[in-house]
Amino acid sequence: MLKTIIIDDEELIREGLLTTIDWKSLGYEVVGQASDGEEAIELIQNLLPDVIITDIRMPFMNGLELLEFIKPMLPHSFVVIISGHDEFQYAQKALQLGAYDYLLKPFDLDYFHKMLVKIKYEHTLLKKSSKGLSDNHLSTLQTHFIEDLIYNKVDLHEIEKKAEEYKLKELTHQYLLLMVIQLDNYHLSIAQYNFDEINDIHKQFYEQIHHAAKSIKNLYMVEGKSGDCILCLSSKDINILKDYSKSLPLSLKKEIESHMNFTVTIAISNIRQGIKELPETYKQTLEILSYRFIAGYSQILYSENMKKEDKIGFNYPQTDYNSEKFIAYIKAGNDEDISEYIDSLFNDLVAHGHNSSLFIIMFVTSIYVQILNLLGTMDYSIESIFPNPLDIYRSLTASQNIMDTKNVLKDVSLKVSHYLSSKRTSKLSSLIRKAKNYIDANYSSTDLTLQAVAEHVNMGVCYFSSVFKQETDETFINYVTKVRIEKAKELLATSEYKSYEVSYMVGYNNPTYFSTIFKKMTGIPPSQYKG
């Protein structure tokens, strides 16, 4: 049993680790817990644990300081740092000090389980010669070693020594090829699945890869956590790897896409010599994979696919984007103008070689922030349109293809525009109702003018006149005239008032003009009207 202690100032985290992991079945025994660095030191000195799992931020002594204390005393211990902060300098410092791994909260339990298995194997290796290990155990250790090399977790000076320990010395001078296989649009697609369904997707993905590559010797498969996988192929003969670089991706793509509801993109590295080149080779392969942002999904990508200006790397190009014009289009509510402007903007970006995914994501998210600011200045909330605005942000930043990014921006822009239009229509309708009520209450006043009513509803005269006609399908003058004549008809039919008296009562100070308008609208003069 590997003696293990857990150090975290949050009791919930400690208890969670204790209860969710079957430590005994994995060959571990949790012999102690501590809530801070000072308490941890006493435990470590008394218990001399094999494995230490510690938070990076604790009272009295942080995880990095504790690590500096542990390593001289227990140089062969396995220290795992857990942290709620995705800060590169912490991870880098921890690994430099000898941490075995650096995990972010909340961490993937499946990955944590695999890490414990890996630690158990490596601990066994320290106590026994690699000769004594079964083939399966040795194969697992070799794969973990390749994984650590790829992720640049092995000290350069230790590579040859560890390669010999794991019976991989021949890889120090053989030719190597990496392939990164990734399910397209994985992060956005899995939102519809539950935890068990996601695990089934991962299982099927890796099974299809195993099946497609089962006949290949000297192949190491590193399973990822996000719908991705790395294959490392080695050979003394460079031509064998050249052949595999063409044939294997075709087999993998066919196998995966014919059995899963996903498309897949595969990036193939250039062939290099020696395992010391693996970190740089992996970096290059990710760069090739990034070209999917421009090329689209379901691709097999090589370095020669990438034009020089398309390679990853950030520059800040000039664009024809005019924020005032774009925001004006959203305010105006013209779908065609919005769509055409976004299409034109993205066409211009691609045409001028501004294909850096980093730039485009930053550029598009800055436009999203401008849309948020627009809503804020109008006292509207983005939550009224999108219940979870962070989902929109994630869709923009997690998109693996430029067309998806464009479509998300277009969808957001149109929905915001429609929302503003509906609010504007509702507000204008309310103002016109208010204007009508004012007219109904003041039709008898000779001072009932277009300007007076516009001022009552706090609108400019010209704008009010235009909106009034738009909302009522008639001009302001026609509407007021209709109200006055209807009131006049009522008075003439139900009272003994003379025609000229009614004229004054409904807002006309010229009885002759009143008679002319009345006859025009009713067909008879007011003096003959009996209702």
3-state secondary structure 248-286: HHHHHHHHHHHHCCCCEEEEECCCEECHHHHHHHHHHHH
Q: pLDDT tens for residues 167-183?
A: 888 888 999 999 999 99
The number of residues making up the chain comes to 531
Task: Tell me which of 321 and 125 has the higher pLDDT.
Answer: 321
| pLDDT band at residue 137 under the 50/70/90 scheme | low
d(C-alpha 341, C-alpha 397), whole Å: 21
What pLDDT is attached to residue 482?
A: 92
What is the pLDDT at residue 345? 85
218: left (phi over 0), alpha (psi -120 to 50) or beta: left
CA dist 133 and 299 (Å) reads 40
pLDDT for position 307: 55
What are the beta bridge partners of residue 6?
Answer: 33, 53
What pLDDT does 320 receive? Answer: 66
Residue with tokens 């290099």: 272
Cβ neighbours of residue 405 under 8 Å, at least 6 residues apart?
A: 360, 361, 364, 396, 399
Nearest-angstrom CA–CA distance, 482 and 476: 10
Mean pLDDT across the stretch 138-165? 85
pLDDT over 90 percentage in the chain: 31
Residue whose entry in the numeric block shows the structure tokens 């105006």: 332
Radius of gyration of the chain (CA): 37
- Band of residue 315 on the pLDDT scale cut at 50, 70, 90: very low
Residue 158 confidence (pLDDT) above 50:
yes
For the cut 90, the answer to whether the pLDDT of residue 392 exceeds it is no
Q: What is the pLDDT of residues 12-27, one digit of tens each?
A: 888 888 988 999 999 9
Q: How far are the Cα atoms of 37, 443, 515, 526 from residue 498, in angstroms, in the given order?
A: 101, 19, 12, 9
Could you give phi then psi for residue 321, rounded to 5 degrees?
Answer: -65, 130
Top-confidence residue, 531 or 494: 494
Mean pLDDT of 266-274: 94
Residue partners of 501: CB distance under 8 A and separation at least 6: none
The whole-number pLDDT of residue 318 equals 52
Amino acid at position 488, single letter: A
Which residue is it, tokens 């919005």?
338
pLDDT of res. 131: 47
Mean pLDDT, residues 352-365 taken together: 70
Bridging pattern class, strands 272-273 and 228-235: unpaired
Q: Which among 261, 354, 373 has a CA at the least distance from the CA of 313?
A: 354
Contacts of residue 186, defined as CB under 8 A and 6 or more positions apart, other chains included, come to 226, 227, 228, 262
**Phi, psi (deg, nearest 5) at residue 5:** -125, 150
Give the residue among 314, 316, 319 at the shortest CA–CA distance from 348.
319
Residue 130's pLDDT band (boundaries 50, 70, 90)? very low
The whole-number pLDDT of residue 192 equals: 76
pLDDT in tens, 404-415: 888 889 999 999
Residue 76 or residue 43, greater confidence:
43
- pLDDT interval class at 312 (50, 70, 90): very low
**Amino acid in the structure at residue 85:** H
Closest by Cα among 137, 146, 118 to 219: 146
Question: What distance, in Å, lies between the first and last C-alpha atoms of the chain?
Answer: 105
Contact 352, 315 (CB under 8 A): no
Average pLDDT of the segment spanning 313-323: 58
Burial environment of residue 69 by CB neighbours within 10 A (0 to 12, 13 to 18, 19 or more): middle
Question: Rounded to whole angstroms, how far apart are CA atoms 465 and 459?
Answer: 9
Residue 294 has a pLDDT of 76
Q: pLDDT of 483-525, one tens digit each?
A: 999 999 999 988 889 999 999 999 999 999 999 999 999 999 9
* Mean of all residue pLDDT scores within the chain: 84
Q: Are strands 219-223 and 228-235 parallel, antiparallel or unpaired?
A: antiparallel
Q: What's the CA gap between 372 and 384, in Å, rounded?
A: 12
Query: Which range has the worst mean pLDDT, 52-66, 115-129, 401-415, 466-480?
Result: 115-129
Q: Which helix (H) or strand (E) holds 156?
A: none
Which residues pair with residue 397 across a beta bridge? none
**DSSP H stretches of helix in 352-456:** 357-377, 389-398, 402-442, 450-456
| Structure-model confidence comparison of residues 270 and 86, the more confident one | 270
More confident residue, 170 or 106: 170
Q: What is the mean pLDDT of residues 139-166?
A: 85
- Mean pLDDT, to the nearest integer, of 370-381? 85
pLDDT of the residue at 134: 55
At residue 135, the pLDDT reads 59
How far is residue 91's CA from residue 148's CA, in Å, rounded to a whole number?
Answer: 15
CB-CB contact of 21 with 113 (8 Å): yes
- Burial-class residue 448 by CB neighbours within 10 Å (0-12, 13-18, 19+): middle
Task: State mean pLDDT over 67-84.
Answer: 81
Contacts 24+ apart (CB under 8 A), 427-434: 428/467, 428/470, 428/471, 429/471, 431/457, 431/459, 431/467, 432/457, 432/467, 432/468, 432/471, 432/472
Percent of the chain with pLDDT over 70: 91
Residue with tokens 């039919």: 493
Tokens of 272: 């290099």
pTM: 0.51
Specify burial of residue 515 (Cβ count, 10 A radius: 0-12, 13-18, 19+): middle
Closest CA to 232 of 299, 282, 302, 307: 282
Q: Phi-psi region for residue 523, left (φ > 0), alpha (ψ -120 to 50) or beta?
A: left
- Say which residue the tokens 């001078």 belong to: 173
Q: Confidence class of residue 316 from pLDDT cuts 50, 70 and 90?
A: very low
What does the pLDDT read at residue 360?
77
Backbone angles phi, psi at 475, to 5 degrees: -75, 160
Longest C-alpha distance within the chain, in Å? 122
**Is the per-residue pLDDT at 310 higher than 50?**
no
Task: Read off the pLDDT of each residue in 113-121 and give the average, rounded to a whole number.
Answer: 87
